[in-house]
């Protein structure tokens, strides 16, 4: 009798263990429906780190499962089963890369790989995306969703708070890391540069700058400030403040509006107290590739100019004119950690052509760490007909050139 009891006890225990491994005893149809209604909808994500080879296998199995389900349709109650807690992308070459999606816009994906650092990848070269981390996805028609997702050949499948939703991949405009938290939209860069000459001429010039950007699903706001001060043989000969403001509204993958667009200049040694150029317009992405982007913008604006000292200036002070901004911007991803940007702005002052001015900048950024960059920048400023200086015998050149080598801190 005792042996029969032990045998029965072992059988019951074995059944319980097998039931737990298989997810519990099966329920009848009504019980399953009730369970589905009461159970919270939540993605299945591994809780512990997985070895690399095992993680690739798990991610491939997860993606194969969702691809098979997509052929018959993904239900709103579907729970995505992820193979790892990291983002993974598969390239057309078949390679899998592990890391974090930072953003995707203009068909260029910024992907932060632990081994390869920050990568800029043509989104057309990405076959599959496995993303258990929260992201915000914007689509044509100003539609956006936030959640965890997988992206297959022709679909974007997002698990949101309202349920799992499916969108055509062809309508995807952008991806931004994070959810609807305000801090997820911001990016900061603070820089400092220095130039020293010692010997026949004692020259000291330094530059400080900051660049702030807020970018959400459909808009981008950028504010940049550059201050330059310099002395030669102990006498100040450079004091310039330059502020740029730009606000973009993205209409599609190619076209965008710029409702607010302005530059503000204060330059003691060009006899300019304030030059303000508020404008409105729009632009187009001329080239939109993984390693090269090229934009062009134009519009119409109001040109305001006030001289610091008009005692030697035989001109109206202040001056108000109409101008047409012509701007272009190009970004070249030379290597994963080396980036070259070129920008040019011409403010064509149609009512007083001599006030036409130009600003050009080339910046080579070399990533030293995740937050520190080495920057080598060249700044060019030109005014077609500069005002006479207040000091007799002094001259104001049309062109100003500046070469800056510095370090910048980047956050966001």
Point out the least confidently predicted range of 4-8, 62-66, 331-335: 4-8
pLDDT in tens, 298-351: 999 999 999 988 776 677 888 999 999 999 999 998 876 889 999 999 999 999
The string of pLDDT tens digits covering residues 67-115 is 999 999 999 999 999 999 999 999 999 999 999 998 898 788 989 987 8
Q: What is the pTM of this model?
A: 0.66
| In the chain, domain spans | 23-180, 185-411
Tell me the mean pLDDT in the region 48-53.
Answer: 60
The CA distance from 141 to 8, in Å, is 65
> Tell me: domain 185-411, CATH 2.170.190.11, correct?
no
Give the Cα separation of 158 and 161 in Å (integer): 10
**pLDDT computed for residue 50 by the predictor:** 56
Scanning 22-143, the segments in alpha helix (DSSP H) are: 29-38, 52-70
Query: Of 191-195, 233-237, 371-375, which one has max mean pLDDT?
Result: 371-375
Helix H or strand E encompassing 6: helix 2-21
- pLDDT of 3 over the 60 cut: no
Return d(Cα 66, Cα 151) in angstroms, integer: 10
Q: What CA–CA distance (Å, rounded) separates 192 from 315?
A: 37
Element (H, E) at 318: none
Selected residue with higher pLDDT from 235 and 129: 129
Give which of 103, 129, 264 is closest to 186, Cα–Cα.
103
Judged on CB neighbours under 10 Å (0-12, 13-18, 19+), 196 is exposed
Give the model's pLDDT for residue 43.
Answer: 61
- Check pLDDT > 90 for residue 27: no
Q: What is the mean pLDDT of the chain?
A: 83
Task: Tell me how far apart the alpha carbons of residues 188 and 221 are, in angstroms, rounded to a whole number.
Answer: 12
């Amino acid at each position: 009798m005792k042996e029969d009891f032990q045998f029965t006890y072992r059988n019951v225990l074995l059944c319980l263990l097998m039931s737990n491994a298989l997810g519990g005893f099966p329920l009848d149809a009504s019980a399953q429906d009730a369970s589905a209604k009461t159970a919270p909808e939540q993605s299945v994500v591994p809780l512990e780190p997985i070895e690399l080879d095992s993680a690739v296998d798990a991610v491939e199995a997860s993606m194969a499962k969702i691809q098979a389900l997509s052929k018959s349709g993904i239900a709103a109650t579907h729970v995505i089963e992820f193979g790892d807690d990291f983002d993974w992308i598969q390239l057309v070459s078949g390679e899998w890369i592990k890391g974090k999606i930072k953003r995707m816009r203009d068909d260029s994906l910024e992907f932060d790989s632990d081994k390869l650092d920050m990568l800029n990848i043509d989104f057309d070269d990405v076959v599959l995306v496995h993303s258990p981390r929260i992201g915000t996805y914007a689509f044509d028609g100003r539609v956006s969703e936030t959640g965890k997702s997988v992206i297959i050949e022709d679909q974007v499948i997002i698990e949101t708070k309202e349920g799992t939703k499916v969108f055509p991949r062809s309508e995807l405009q952008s991806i931004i890391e994070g959810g609807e938290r305000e801090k997820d939209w911001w990016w900061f860069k603070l820089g400092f540069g220095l130039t020293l000459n010692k010997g026949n001429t004692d020259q000291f010039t330094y530059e400080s700058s900051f660049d702030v950007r807020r970018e959400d699903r459909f808009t981008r706001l950028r504010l940049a400030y550059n201050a330059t001060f310099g002395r030669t043989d102990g006498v100040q000969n450079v004091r310039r403040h330059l502020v740029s403001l730009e606000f973009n509204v993205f209409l599609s993958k190619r076209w965008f509006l710029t409702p607010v667009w302005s530059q503000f200049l204060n330059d003691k040694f060009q006899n300019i107290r304030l030059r303000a150029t508020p404008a409105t317009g729009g632009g187009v992405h001329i080239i939109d590739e993984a390693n090269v982007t090229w934009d062009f913008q134009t519009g119409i604006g109001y040109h305001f100019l006030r001289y610091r000292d008009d005692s030697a200036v035989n001109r109206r002070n202040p001056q108000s004119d109409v101008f047409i901004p012509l701007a272009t911007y190009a970004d070249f991803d030379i290597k994963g950690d080396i980036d070259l940007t070129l920008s040019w702005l011409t403010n064509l002052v149609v009512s007083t052509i001599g006030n036409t001015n130009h600003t050009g900048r080339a910046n080579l950024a070399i990533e030293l760490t995740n937050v520190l960059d080495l920057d080598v920048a060249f700044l060019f400023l030109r005014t077609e007909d500069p005002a006479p200086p207040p000091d007799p015998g002094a001259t104001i050149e049309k062109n100003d050139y500046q070469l800056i080598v510095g370090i910048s801190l980047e956050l966001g």
